[in-house]
Amino acid sequence: MESNVTGPESFWDYLQDMDPVWTTTVLLVPLVVVLTAGFFYLYGVIVGLLSKTSVRNKVVVITDALSGLGKECAGVFHKGGARLILCGKSWEKLEELLDDLANASDPTATFPPKLVLLDFGDMDSMPEAIAEILECYGCLDILIFNSSMKVKAPAQSLSLEMDKLLMDNNYFGPVTLAKGVLPSMISRRGGHLLLVNSIQGKIAVPFRTAYAASKHAVQAFFDCLRAEVEEYGISVSTINHTFISRSASEAAESSRSIWSLLYTKKPLGVSPDEAAAEIVKTLNNKRKEVVIAPSLPKAAIYARSFFPNVFFAVMAAGVNNAAAAEKM
In the predicted structure, residue 51 carries a pLDDT above the cut 60: no
Q: Per-residue confidence at 315, pLDDT binned at 50, 70, 90?
A: confident
| Residue with more model confidence, 30 or 104 | 104
Q: What per-residue confidence (pLDDT) applies to 7? A: 52
pLDDT value at residue 44: 56
Q: Say if residue 266's pLDDT is above 50.
A: no
Q: Mention the CATH class of domain 56-247+264-293.
A: alpha beta
CA distances from 169 to 17, 80, 206, 214, 315 (A): 69, 29, 20, 9, 26
Residues 6+ apart with CB under 8 A from 162: 151, 210
> What's at 278, amino acid-wise?
E
Higher pLDDT, 277 or 50: 277
CB 172 within 8 A of CB 214: no
- Which residue, among 230, 202, 231, has the nearest Cα to 286 in the 3D structure? 230
Which of 4-18, 177-191, 239-253 shows the lowest mean pLDDT across its residues?
Answer: 4-18
The answer to whether residues 187 and 244 touch, using CB atoms and an 8 Å cutoff, is: no
What is the spatial distance between Cα 185 and Cα 16, in angstroms, rounded to a whole number?
69
8 Å CB contact between 261 and 229:
no
Contact (CB, 8 A) for 254 and 246? no
User: What is the structure's pLDDT at 141?
Assistant: 96
> Which range has the worst mean pLDDT, 33-37, 151-155, 239-243?
33-37
Q: pLDDT digit string (tens) for 120-149?
A: 999 999 999 999 999 999 999 999 999 889
The 10s digit of each residue's pLDDT in 66-93 is 999 999 999 999 999 999 999 999 999 9
Question: Which residues does residue 191 pair with via DSSP β-bridges, in sequence order?
Answer: 234
Q: Give the pairing of strands 142-145 and 191-198.
A: parallel
Interatomic CA distance for residues 263 and 203, integer angstroms: 9
Say which amino acid occupies 93: K
Q: Is 49 helix (H, G, I), strand (E, B) or coil?
A: helix
Angstrom distance (rounded) from CA 235 to CA 225: 10
Distance of CA 12 to the CA centre of its chain: 49
pLDDT exceeds cutoff 90 at 289: yes
Query: Residue 109 has what pLDDT?
Result: 84
Q: What percent of the chain is predicted at pLDDT more than 90? A: 56
Question: Which among 274, 271, 240, 285 is positioned nearest to 50, based on CA atoms?
Answer: 285
Given a contact cutoff of 8 angstroms between Cβ atoms, the answer to whether 77 and 58 are in contact is no
pLDDT confidence of 3, banded at 50, 70, 90?
A: low
CA distances from 148 to 67, 165, 218, 227 (A): 10, 11, 11, 24
* Residues β-bridged to residue 87: 116
Q: What is the pLDDT of residue 308?
A: 87
d(CA 267, CA 254): 9
Q: Residue 255: its pLDDT value, please?
A: 44
Annotated catalytic residue, options 211, 232, 263, 302: 211
232 a catalytic residue:
no
